[in-house]
Amino acid sequence: MSEAEEYAKAVRSVADFGTKALDVSEKVGGFFAKVFKEPIQEVSGLITDKLKFIRWRRLVQMADEVDKILSERGVRETRGVQPKLAIPIFEAGTLEDDASLQSLWSHLLANAMDPQFNGEIRYGFIDMIKNITGVEASILSYIYNNRDGYINKKKIIEIYDIDSMSCMVSIYNLLRIQCIIAREMEWSAMIPKDNNAHVTTLFRNIDIFCLTPLGQRFVEACIK
């Protein structure tokens, strides 16, 4: 294939993509118009303006919360934050509608700006906040502040008034992102057999959990 033919093929691909994107936009616009019973142009403008307003309002709230955190610490001169960290925080924080998780974004940004903060600020913390719920953030905070540094499933159910299944889902999620680890407690028991002999059986209990080093750094940077 000649260079001219390759160029023509690329142009056609871009044109096809643009046509498909336009078709999708028209379909979405038509759906919104059907929902609101308003012309597509008015509905599109309304939704765009509403989203801009919501994100702007949350950005202002974040700015106020970050200023408050730094002011309470007595921080007057802040350090610069790299765009690769600050911009994703702005993007995700202004989309978050859970107040407890909004606080995590504000604390992460405040710590990144605080020259006195000696803990770790990892880019991976951004994805970790995106992958937890407000309850899970509270669980991490509870473990961190607990004198023994451990928590069990029964305690989680009791404190946060959630059912056993929701508790297990949260635990597995925190295990998945490696914020907690199961503390395996082993013990043995003598089990009788039919011939009056005994066999030693090893049991493991994984109902007790503690923070991993990563979980501890995450709490210090985003929750504490």
Query: What is the predicted pLDDT for the residue at 117?
Result: 94
Domain end (from 130, 150, 169): 130
Specify whether 126 is located in the same domain as 194: no
Query: What is the predicted pLDDT for the residue at 30?
Result: 58
Specify whether 99 is located in the same domain as 175: no
Helices vs strands, H then E, count in the chain: 9, 5
Whether 145 and 217 have beta carbons less than 8 Å apart is answered as no
Instruction: Tell me the per-residue pLDDT of 163-200, one tens digit each, with 9 for 90 and over.
Output: 989 999 999 999 999 999 987 544 444 445 555 555 55
Specify whether 124 is located in the same domain as 136: no
Cα 126 from Cα 123, distance rounded (Å) = 6
How high is the mean pLDDT in each 10-residue block of the chain (224 residues)?
51 46 53 54 58 78 91 91 90 88 94 93 95 95 87 89 91 94 59 53 64 96 90
Domain end (from 130, 164, 183): 130
Specify whether 124 is located in the same domain as 193: no
How many domains, the chain? 2
Specify whether 148 is located in the same domain as 183: yes
Query: What is the predicted pLDDT for the residue at 94?
Result: 87
Which pTM was predicted?
0.70
Whether 134 and 101 have beta carbons less than 8 Å apart is answered as yes
- Among 81, 75, 127, 74, smallest CA distance to 104 is for 127
Does the residue 27 lie in any domain?
Answer: no
Cα 185 from Cα 65, distance rounded (Å) = 42
Does the residue 206 lie in any domain?
Answer: yes
Q: Beta strands of 89-176 (E only): which ranges?
A: 150-152
Specify whether 156 is located in the same domain as 123: no
Does the residue 21 lie in any domain?
Answer: no
Q: 141 Cβ partners below 8 Å, 6+ apart?
A: 219, 223, 224
Specify whether 164 is located in the same domain as 88: no
CATH number at 206 reads 1.10.10.10
Q: 8 Cβ partners below 8 Å, 6+ apart?
A: none
Specify whether 218 is located in the same domain as 146: yes
Residue 59 belongs to domain spanning: 38-130
Query: What is the predicted pLDDT for the residue at 17?
Result: 42
Query: What is the predicted pLDDT for the residue at 48?
Result: 64
Positive or negative: CA dihedral 154, 155, 161, 166: negative
Query: What is the predicted pLDDT for the residue at 99?
Result: 87
Residue 142 vs residues 24, 44, 100: alpha-carbon distances, Å: 46, 44, 14
Query: What is the predicted pLDDT for the residue at 95?
Result: 86
Instruction: Copy the structure tokens of residue 221.
Output: 């940077």
Domain end (from 96, 130, 164): 130
Residue 127 vs residues 104, 122, 123: alpha-carbon distances, Å: 12, 10, 8
Residue 26 vs residues 19, 87, 170, 186, 222: alpha-carbon distances, Å: 11, 30, 39, 62, 41
Query: What is the predicted pLDDT for the residue at 55?
Result: 78
